[in-house]
Amino acid sequence: MIETATGTITNGSAGRVLLVLGRVALAGILLFAAYAKLKPQVPGMHWSTGSVKTSLALFAMNVDSFEMLGSPRQVSIVAHLLPFCEIGLGLWLLSGILLRFSSVIATLVFAGFFTVIVRTYMLGLEINCGCFGPGEKLGPRNLVIDGSLLALAIAVTVGAFLSRRKSGLEGAPSGSPATLGAD
């Protein structure tokens, strides 16, 4: 329990506040990453279908530099879908709807990103990451950032599952009205 000028914060409410802050932070990071990949990359170019296509083509070169995908078609698919998946997941996390599911997916996504970054770093590839737009050289800083994001995603996932248990549903019999429709 914490006493503040505006009232008392209990451990439960502090946990809820931290959970909201964590999911909003993850959502903001995903939305910013998508924005950085989609924004016009050519100086003086304004937002348009053409500028987004150009940005995605440049991002495809970053994806290809990881040397993980076998064909140009696979590279193109990943480069064209990833920013929009980041937007979708970011908005889903921001909404808080079915948080246990969205946080698990976010954890899997960040685990995938971290795995790719570690693999690429261990191979000694000197590439631009492309995680938050062009011009970001892959290095130890990326390992720390991606590892921290993965840890935050795990914390949000654990918090989402624990907050569900603390709501009192764990004591209700399976199939009872209290547990029907839960998540």
Q: What is the arithmetic mean of pLDDT over 54-64?
A: 88
Q: What is the arithmetic mean of pLDDT over 49-56?
A: 87
pLDDT at 176: 36
Angle at 44 between CA 38 and CA 45, to 5 degrees: 40
How far is Cα 132 from Cα 136, in angstroms, rounded to an integer? 7
pLDDT at 181: 43
For residues 181, 108, 95, 159, the Cα torsion angle rounded to the nearest 10 degrees is 70
For the chain, what is the mean pLDDT?
83
**Quick check: pTM over 0.85?**
no
CA 52 to chain centre: 21
pLDDT at 45: 81
Assigned token pair, 49: 């279908």
pLDDT > 70 fraction of the chain, expressed in percent and rounded: 81
Q: Would you say 132 and 117 are in contact if contact means Cβ atoms under 8 Å apart?
A: no
pLDDT at 46: 85
Angle at 142 between CA 88 and CA 95, to 5 degrees: 20
Q: Would you say 161 and 100 are in contact if contact means Cβ atoms under 8 Å apart?
A: yes
pLDDT > 90 fraction of the chain, expressed in percent and rounded: 49
134 — pLDDT class (breaks 50, 70, 90): low
pLDDT at 164: 67
Q: What is the arithmetic mean of pLDDT over 63-78?
A: 91
Place of tokens 């971290």: 114
3-state secondary structure 67-85: CCCCCHHHHHHHHHHHHHH
